[in-house]
């Protein structure tokens, strides 16, 4: 009698290339996001690594990189943030250097004018105000991945302080416009909000006061 093939001798290897868009791939992505949420909750945003997330998820680190380019992207997916930090920063820095604050405020308002987006952000802020670990993670994410990158790109001293001051303006704007819905701010156009709030954010990020910019323009 001929020997039967030994199925147990075959080695099953996890594919290392791009996974096909199947239910299994969707499950893998969800598994990674779930593991990331646990890592962020346990260790905070700054100290969590993609390698640690991969270990918790039981997958290759390369598979995490397949679904998420950066830790910031993975965190955004974990909290379902409506704004991709890499795209926001790129859009702001691609604009005129003397309008960084205006560009940032316009980008934030354009993104959050979508009702689903601003409801999500308000829920995130509510959670952060009620739970210290959530506040720490959200604070680290916003300051490090968005505002500190912009502040560092324009040079100058104390980029982290400048980023945190800019964050105070942005968070206050979000709460007033989308949370408390203070009028007429809540109904103002994105362009109007950017024109009025942007110069203050620009001042914090760059250290150049709006008055200085106006004086130079009039010379």
pLDDT in single tens digits along all 219 residues of the chain: 444 444 444 443 444 444 444 455 668 999 999 999 888 878 878 888 999 999 999 999 999 999 998 888 888 888 777 777 667 777 888 888 888 999 999 999 998 998 888 888 888 888 777 777 677 777 778 777 777 788 778 777 888 788 888 888 998 999 999 999 999 999 999 999 999 999 999 999 888 776 554 454 455
The pLDDT of residue 154 is 77
The pLDDT, as a whole number, for residue 81 is 74
CATH topology of domain 82-218: Tetracycline Repressor; domain 2 (1.10.357)
Contact 163, 205 (CB under 8 A): yes
CATH topology of domain 17-78: Arc Repressor Mutant, subunit A (1.10.10)
Q: Hey, what are 62's tokens?
A: 């390369």
Q: What is the DSSP string of 85-149?
A: HHHHHHHHHHS-GGGHHHHHHHHHHHHHTSHHHHHHHHHHHHHHHH-HHHHHHHHHHHIIIIIHH
Per CATH, 17-78 and 82-218 having the same topology is answered: no
Burial pattern 86-112, b for ≥16 Cβ within 10 A else e, equals bebbeebeeeeeebbbbbbbbbbbebb
Biggest CA-to-CA distance, the chain = 99
Domain boundaries, the chain: 17-78, 82-218
What is the Cα–Cα distance from 101 to 130, expressed in whole angstroms? 29
Residues counted in the chain: 219
What is the reported pLDDT for 152?
79
Does this model's pTM top 0.85?
A: no
Which two three-digit tokens encode residue 90?
Answer: 């790129």
Q: Which two tokens stand for residue 123?
A: 């829920």
Give the pLDDT score at 215: 52
Contact (Cβ atoms closer than 8 angstroms) between residue 88 and residue 146 = yes
List all residues 6 or more positions away from 54 whose beta carbon is below 8 Å from its beta carbon.
Answer: 32, 35, 60, 61, 63, 64
pLDDT at 15: 45
């Amino acid at each position: 009698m001929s020997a039967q093939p030994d199925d147990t001798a075959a080695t099953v290897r996890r594919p290392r290339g791009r996974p096909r868009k199947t239910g299994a791939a969707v499950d893998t992505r969800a598994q990674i996001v779930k593991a990331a949420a646990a890592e962020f909750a346990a260790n905070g945003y700054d100290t969590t690594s993609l390698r640690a997330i991969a270990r918790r998820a039981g997958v290759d680190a390369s598979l995490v990189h397949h679904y998420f380019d950066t830790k910031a992207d993975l965190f955004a997916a974990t909290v379902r943030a409506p704004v991709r930090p890499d795209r926001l920063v790129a859009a702001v820095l691609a604009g005129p250097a003397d309008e960084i604050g205006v560009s940032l405020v316009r980008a934030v308002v354009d993104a959050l004018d979508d009702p689903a987006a601003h409801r999500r952000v308000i829920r995130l802020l509510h959670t952060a105000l009620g739970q210290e670990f959530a506040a720490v993670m959200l604070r680290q994410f916003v300051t490090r991945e968005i505002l500190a990158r912009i502040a560092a790109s324009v040079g100058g001293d104390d980029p982290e302080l400048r980023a945190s001051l800019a964050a105070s303006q942005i968070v206050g704007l979000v709460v007033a416009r989308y949370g408390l819905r203070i009028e007429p701010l809540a109904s103002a156009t994105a362009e109007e909000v950017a024109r009025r709030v942007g110069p203050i954010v620009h001042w914090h990020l760059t250290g150049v006061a709006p008055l200085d910019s106006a004086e130079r323009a009039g010379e």
